[in-house]
Amino acid sequence: MSRSLITEARNTWCPGCGNFAIEHALKTVIAARIEEGFPPEKFVLVTGIGCHAKIADYLDINSFYAIHGRTIPVATGIKLANPDLCVICCAGDGDCYAEGLDHLIFAAKRNIDLTMIVHNNRVYGLTTGQYTPTSPLHFKGRSTPGGTEEKPLNPPALMLASGATMVARAYTRKLDHLQAVIREGMEHPGFAFIDVLQICASFFNMTDYYNERVYTIKEHDSSDFWRAWQKVREWDYSADAPIALGTFYKSVEPVFNDKFRITRQPGEGREQAVRKLLERRIGR
């Protein structure tokens, strides 16, 4: 393939940042799908605000910077306007689990066909180390020098409860597995949620902690909701416990954007087709 998929923009991520692994995994999966015949112009990457968002500068595909917490609304609009696109959302844990949390829940509830990748370093790295919704209990950072008194969110559990049809967790130092899960997410018809554990090399380096605890789930029936529920609750993002990686749950259900798909009749223009769709929606 002649196209490299990496731009010439100067990369400003810190050495050792987990974002590099996610960028590499995405590039590899996208390149493979292009080789298989998926048109490169049909990939769209939407990012939020934070260190993760620079991935839009570094990957040479269609992209859009959304404002803080608004990655999913932008991606939803893009997917509704053109359901044939492969729309990928990248967001940080502060971006997605704090200000953008309501959008995340509604995307799962609607089963909009997006691949949601959360770069979860569990700290606000761009603003030098404040705690986020997934920072562990008693985390000491710039805004909490005495330690937090809040338990962290468990995002996979939240997504299961919200109706997501694919819920997975990966880790940036398990690169082959990360690529496989991202690929699975892109191929899943519906809302694919992937919580990617990564380190912030400057403000929250959890490499040793993760390396000692992560394991890949095996012989797991991903169609069993209650088994998935038990698995995602093994680790609560704070206490010491084994950390499962893999696809916890997956089901095929009606996709939100298919309800708005425009089917043109022979000779029918786009404006006419859109008008017919709107009239059908309002019952005329």
CA distances from 136 to 131, 200, 232, 236 (A): 9, 14, 16, 9
pLDDT tens digits, 201-248: 999 999 999 999 999 999 999 999 999 999 999 999 999 999 999 999
Cβ neighbours of residue 219 closer than 8 Å, sequence gap 6 or more: none
In the block, which residue shows the tokens 């569990």? Answer: 122
pLDDT tens digits, 101-148: 999 999 999 999 999 999 999 999 999 999 999 999 999 998 999 999
Beta bridge partners of 243: 214
Measured between alpha carbons, how far is 177 from 253 in angstroms, rounded to an integer? Answer: 25
Q: Distance from first CA to last CA of the chain, Å, rounded? A: 50
